[in-house]
Chain A
Amino acid sequence: MSLARCLVLIRYNFRLLADDLASLLSMLFFPFIMMFFLQPAGRVLLQSSGYRDASGAEQVVPGMVVLFVFLGMSFTGSLFFQEHSWRTWDRLRASVARPLEIIIGKCTPPFVLTLVQVIILFGAGFLIFGMQTFPSLPLLGLMMLALCFCQTGLAMAWIALSRSFSQFLILSNLLGMLFCGLGGSLVPPEALPGWAAFLAPASPAYWALRGFRTLLLDGGDLFSYLQALLVLLGIGSAALLLAALRFRFADVKEVTI
């Protein structure tokens, strides 16, 4: 494997993503807008759950971060499927770039941009939306990285399983919304009906939000935090393993982007 080739692929895939700057920026603006409108409701819900000093941001900021991280899987998907629509996939495969280098080149830019998105939104949470508790930065950073890793793994798994970009969008958006709804992105877990609360631990969003909630609301209980971190990393790893087993470079993907 060549680090130089990986860097070339990473750089040019950043440029391909930058070609659709409006979509990228929307992944910052939409959660901002949602946070503004949902914060009052978040405050009411958290205070009624016993968090008397909560500003509401402790619910809506991580909730919207996790929601839009999972919806942002479409960027990873588009980087792969566009190569088929432009007919450059086989050209790339016939070049000196190795399969793993192509994968790294395609996954790294969305991973980095997602991490930047998460950092900016949490930053806004503290500076603009008045999140009360300032947690340990390394622990918060680790949870952010685990969330981005999990998202990347799931995106790769959906790409491997999908024959078309439409199928990929259905998998990523529908399951993303389901995961986030069950996980507590929209309302705190305590407010969910019993059946949803029962299913919630099957959702990666649940564990991401549990990790963030532990840091922001529950005094940073280390056991609870580590449990959430490890489960999130485990889900991401399992998804990557599925992708590795199922992904076929020679598959022809249908594209209607």
Chain B
Amino acid sequence: MLRIVGLCKAYGQIVALQDVDLSIEAGEIVGLIGPNGAGKTTLVSLVAGLRKADAGSVTIQGIDALRFPEKVRPLLGVAPQDSSFYPGLLVRDNLRFFGELYGLRGRDLRLRVDEIASALGLETLLQRRARELSGGQQRRLHTALALLHRPRLLFLDEPTVGADVQTRGQILEIVQQLAAEGCAVCYCSHYFPEIEQLHASIAVLEAGRVLVRSSLQEFITAHGTTQVRLTFEGEAPYQPGWICEGECAFIPTERPTKTITDLLQHSAEIAARVRTIEIVQPDLESAYLAVTGRIVPGMEVERCH
């Protein structure tokens, strides 16, 4: 469905993307993970034809998307990171506008609007002005606008940021449903549990390069490590081999019990400040940590509280 080869983009001296290769097949969900500034949004912008690439190629269903963006746009659905909709229009009219723009008319349009609204829990909100919706409801509307025309390739950039639990569940459910129907989905997110729940394959983007591209299980098997996770009173102390973020410290180790024992026996001063100790089996987060040496912003806050 999507083939990206050697994609490059720089903004002046800042290299946003460097020789990026990425393919997504029909029905596949790819979790595109990476820190802020890794190039995820730039990648989406280039594929959507919003910015010009410096080099490389992007083909969608065999069509050169960089040379003929107007030919691929009917296939493409994009929900950018920041919520975007018309606040003064009714929810129904927001949906109808984009539906009509993509050529839906009459009964088809009405049915499709109702279908999407129902799938994302907006059916009771159709007569409300978009500005009157809660944050989670607005997020669902924002996502719904990308889905009306049944895209074959869908880019969702942080679709659940700021969303409540119900919204998050509905978005994940519809993503899985779309993939089951053959849509290729690129799901950019910092929330690893979502990537795991979607059984997405993984593409790790770091400083404009794809570091890893594999299935979820292969990624965890190859790079995941058992970790000892510690939270401290105050800032976590820096120690050799530890990865620290705020109050939390992460110690990749193959012998977690020994690591904990050594800490308690030989580092009394440090041990006295420990609030919680957790042994975590290899997971997406530990694999990401091993590959990049960093913790994705947002994850450590969830884990440590």
Q: Is the pair B70, A96 in contact by a Cβ cutoff of 8 Å? A: yes
**Would you give the shortest CB distance from B43 to chain A, in whole angstroms?**
13
**Chain A contacts of B88 at CB under 8 A?**
16, 19
Give Cα A250–Cα B50 distance, bound, in whole angstroms: 7
**Chain A contacts of B145 at CB under 8 A?**
91
Give Cα A137–Cα B97 distance, bound, in whole angstroms: 38
Which one of B76-84, B205-213, B244-252 is at the A interface? B76-84
Q: Are A97 and B86 CB-contacts (below 8 A) given A250-B50, A250-B51?
A: no
Which one of A7-15, A37-45, A108-116 is at the B interface? A7-15
Q: Which residues between 69 and 118 of chain A lie within 8 Å of chain B, taking CB atoms?
A: 86-88, 90-91, 93-98
Q: Taking chain B's interface residues, is the majority helix, strand, or loop, or is none over half, making it mixed?
A: loop
Q: Which residues between 16 and 30 of chain A lie within 8 Å of chain B, taking CB atoms?
A: 16, 19
Give Cα A9–Cα B97 distance, bound, in whole angstroms: 8
Q: Are A97 and B101 CB-contacts (below 8 A) given A15-B93, A90-B80, A250-B50?
A: yes
Q: Is the pair B85, A86 in contact by a Cβ cutoff of 8 Å? A: yes
B89 CB-CB contact with A under 8 Å: yes
Q: Classify chain A: how many residues form its interface, as a range.
A: 20 to 34
Q: Are A86 and B84 CB-contacts (below 8 A) given A93-B50, A94-B73?
A: yes
Q: Which residues between 90 and 139 of chain B lie within 8 Å of chain A, taking CB atoms?
A: 93, 97-98, 100-103
Q: Is the pair A88, B76 in contact by a Cβ cutoff of 8 Å? A: no
**Chain A contacts of B52 at CB under 8 A?**
250
Q: Is the pair A91, B76 in contact by a Cβ cutoff of 8 Å? A: no
B56 CB-CB contact with A under 8 Å: no
A33 CB-CB contact with B under 8 Å: no
Q: A15's closest neighbor in chain B, by CB?
A: B89
**Would you give the shortest CB distance from B132 to chain A, in whole angstroms?**
14
Q: Is the pair B87, A12 in contact by a Cβ cutoff of 8 Å? A: no
A163 CB-CB contact with B under 8 Å: no
Give Cα A250–Cα B49 distance, bound, in whole angstroms: 10
* A-contact 0/1 string along B13-56, CB 8 Å cutoff: 00000000000000000000000000000000100111110000
**Chain A contacts of B87 at CB under 8 A?**
86
Most A Cβ at <10 Å: residue of B51, B83, B86, B103: B86
B74 CB-CB contact with A under 8 Å: yes
**Chain B contacts of A91 at CB under 8 A?**
78, 80, 84, 145
**Would you give the shortest CB distance from A83 to chain B, in whole angstroms?**
9
Contact of A94 among B78, B89, B103 (CB under 8 A): B78
**Chain B contacts of A88 at CB under 8 A?**
84-86
A5 CB-CB contact with B under 8 Å: yes
**Would you give the shortest CB distance from A214 to chain B, in whole angstroms?**
42
**Would you give the shortest CB distance from A107 to chain B, in whole angstroms?**
17
Q: Are A86 and B50 CB-contacts (below 8 A) given A95-B73, A95-B98?
A: no
Q: B100's closest neighbor in chain A, by CB?
A: A8
**Would you give the shortest CB distance from B80 to chain A, in whole angstroms?**
6
Q: Are A8 and B97 CB-contacts (below 8 A) given A95-B102, A96-B102?
A: yes
A127 CB-CB contact with B under 8 Å: no
Give Cα A86–Cα B141 distance, bound, in whole angstroms: 14
A3 CB-CB contact with B under 8 Å: no
A4 CB-CB contact with B under 8 Å: yes
Give Cα A93–Cα B69 distance, bound, in whole angstroms: 10
**Would you give the shortest CB distance from A194 to chain B, in whole angstroms?**
49
Q: Is the pair A96, B101 in contact by a Cβ cutoff of 8 Å? A: yes
Contact of B49 among A15, A16, A94 (CB under 8 A): A94
Q: A12's closest neighbor in chain B, by CB?
A: B97
**Would you give the shortest CB distance from A113 to chain B, in whole angstroms?**
17
**Chain B contacts of A8 at CB under 8 A?**
97, 100-101
Q: Is the pair B85, A96 in contact by a Cβ cutoff of 8 Å? A: no
Q: Is the pair A96, B74 in contact by a Cβ cutoff of 8 Å? A: yes
Q: A91's closest neighbor in chain B, by CB?
A: B84
**Chain A contacts of B103 at CB under 8 A?**
4, 96
**Would you give the shortest CB distance from A139 to chain B, in whole angstroms?**
39
Beyond A4-B103, A88-B86, A96-B74, 18 additional pairs, beta carbon < 8 A: A12-B86, A12-B93, A16-B88, A19-B88, A86-B84, A86-B85, A90-B45, A90-B80, A91-B80, A91-B84, A94-B48, A94-B49, A96-B70, A96-B102, A96-B149, A98-B70, A250-B50, A250-B51
**A–B Cβ pairs within 8 angstroms, 9 of them:** A16-B86, A19-B89, A87-B80, A91-B80, A93-B50, A94-B78, A96-B74, A96-B103, A96-B149
